[in-house]
Amino acid sequence: MRVLAVAPEPFFTPRGTPFSVYYRTLVASRLGASVDVLTYGEGEDIALTDVRTIRIPPMRFLGSVKIGPSLGKLARDLVMVVWTTAILVRRRYDIVHAHEEAIFWCLFLKPFFDFKLVYDMHSSLPQQLTNFEYTDSKLIVGVFRWLERYALRHSDAVVTICEALADHAESEMGESERHLLIENSLFEEIRLAGMQDRSAEDSAGEAIPDLPAGRPLVLYAGTFEPYQGIDLLLQSFAIAVREVPAAYLLVVGGTEAQIRRYEKIAEGCGLTDDISLAQRVPSSVARSLLARAAVVTSPRVTGTNTPLKIYELLASGVPLVATDIPSHTQVLDDGVCFLAQPEPEPFARALVAALTDRERRERTISAARRLYEDEYSPAAYEEKMRRLFELLDPRRPEAADTAPPSRHSVQNPTA
């Protein structure tokens, strides 16, 4: 099959949605599809078999692409509409895989071109408008709710990434064979063009400060956006380190401005000698840091989407401390991690327990690995993607009378 993936984001950059787009594209190519990825001008080229990256012009005068809605993103999306149309005029595709807001213009173009349309729903766009405080206009939010509802009901297939989004989608479209829950549970080395020229060790040496030997490492790796809970992590660690003085905190993934801000907060918490903050690093470096960690953390304070990194952390063999919020608890429970309310005192207690309670650490690690293998393994991910392509195959007989499969009916085929 020929697939056009329309990804309105800086691809590839190391943040949630681009990771998801990468792995969807990777597995599609492994299943025999030829994939063109249309994306923003910003980002690094990927190196995958039968995958071509097509970029709109880099609109640097708009500044960097922020996470969430923005005027800069809107301007780039208007250019994406033109590029999508031009590409469809020049080449025929069997499937258009529209990520996030790309669904809106791809739905408009669908009647003019003969393709099957996939809506890859990484988030609820009306919710994003309010969560990122982009607008408080009921009219604008209402328009996006109507557009989202229309997209859910008129796409040939809808893919959601977590239970909360699956519930939201099914509230609009009902239980349907057209809906597949495909969690972002796949993780492999990201293959970028030209990456062979630099080793992970070289990159790590540039990006990560020297870490003290012999101190158990508490690690956070991810963006520094407010919803990620970095403030909570610093306040909690300041309490925990009083009980476990040897512990050392490494927080990775911020911009220079964000790092300066959190360095001041860390200093105010008395953490000058017990913490390092660093900028974003390649995924290979993040994995080498994970292998050195005694504890990993996900201190997110708001949201309903499950962070992509949670699945890798389940399989890592390192105990996880996470906040007890829906973003986490649709996948995690107290059996597979150390859950704590998103407040400094309880999160600090969870950090101390994860560092010191050896029996619970081992029990948690074992249960986390079992959960990953049973529900979220690479084999399960690939089987769900295979089912998506089978659903869209024009040679497939109509299955209107077939009961829709359970969203969890595909588990690890090798188990």
Give Cβ neighbours of residue 168 (< 8 Å, ≥ 6 apart). Answer: 124, 160
| Structural contact between residues 380 and 411, judged by C-beta atoms closer than 8 angstroms | yes
User: Across all residues in the chain, what is the average pLDDT?
Assistant: 88
> Residue 200: pLDDT band by 50, 70, 90 thresholds?
very low
Rounded-to-integer distance, Cα 388 and Cα 384, Å = 6
Quote the pTM value. 0.81
**What's the token pair of residue 18?**
């681009």
Alpha helices in 210-322 (DSSP H): 230-243, 256-268, 283-292, 309-315
Q: Please give the biggest Cα pair distance in the chain.
A: 66
Which of these, 402, 319, 316, lies nearest to 357 by C-alpha position?
Answer: 319
Rounded-to-integer distance, Cα 192 and Cα 274, Å = 34
**What's the token pair of residue 80?**
């994406």
CB atoms within 10 A of CB 103: 28
Taking residues 112-120, report their average pLDDT. 95
Say which range, 19-23, 181-185, 186-190, has the weakest mean pLDDT.
Answer: 186-190
Class of CATH domain 199-374: alpha beta
Which of these, 135, 114, 153, 127, lies nearest to 2 by C-alpha position?
Answer: 114
**DSSP structural state of residue 9:** S
CATH label, 2-185+378-392, candidates 3.40.80.10, 3.40.50.300, 3.40.50.2000, 1.20.140.10: 3.40.50.2000
| Structural contact between residues 135 and 68, judged by C-beta atoms closer than 8 angstroms | no
- Residue with structure tokens 């030209």? 194
| Per-residue pLDDT reduced to its tens digit, 4-60 | 999 999 999 888 899 999 999 999 999 999 999 999 999 999 999 999 999 999 998
Residue 36 bridge partners (DSSP) = 4, 52
Rounded-to-integer distance, Cα 183 and Cα 89, Å = 33
What is the per-residue pLDDT for 404?
A: 46
Which amino acid, residue 34? S
| Structural contact between residues 101 and 125, judged by C-beta atoms closer than 8 angstroms | yes
Half-sphere exposure (CA, 13 Å, Cβ side) for 244? 22
Choose the most confident range, by mean pLDDT, from 44-53, 138-147, 403-412: 44-53
Give Cβ neighbours of residue 20 (< 8 Å, ≥ 6 apart). Answer: 99, 120, 122, 161, 184, 308
> Residue 411: pLDDT band by 50, 70, 90 thresholds?
very low
CB atoms within 10 A of CB 349: 18
For the chain, give every residue range classified as CATH 3.40.50.2000.
2-185+378-392, 199-374
Buried b (16+ CB within 10 A) or exposed e, 137-152: eeeebeebbebbeebb
What is the per-residue pLDDT for 203?
A: 46
| Structural contact between residues 234 and 269, judged by C-beta atoms closer than 8 angstroms | yes
> Residue 221: pLDDT band by 50, 70, 90 thresholds?
very high
- Is the bond leading into 187 cis (omega within 30 degrees of zero)? no
What is the per-residue pLDDT for 142?
A: 81
Rounded to an integer, what is the distance from CA 87 to the centroid of its chain? 27
Rounded-to-integer distance, Cα 354 and Cα 337, Å = 9
| Structural contact between residues 336 and 364, judged by C-beta atoms closer than 8 angstroms | yes
- Residue with structure tokens 């008395």? 270
| Structural contact between residues 186 and 381, judged by C-beta atoms closer than 8 angstroms | yes
| Per-residue pLDDT reduced to its tens digit, 277-310 | 999 887 778 888 999 999 999 999 998 889 989 9
Say which range, 24-33, 140-149, 251-260, 343-352, has the weakest mean pLDDT.
Answer: 140-149
What is the per-residue pLDDT for 207?
A: 55
Taking residues 63-73, report their average pLDDT. 84
Which of these, 271, 310, 352, lies nearest to 161 by C-alpha position?
Answer: 310
Which of these, 355, 356, 376, 357, lies nearest to 309 by C-alpha position?
Answer: 376
**DSSP structural state of residue 185:** -
- Residue with structure tokens 């360095």? 263
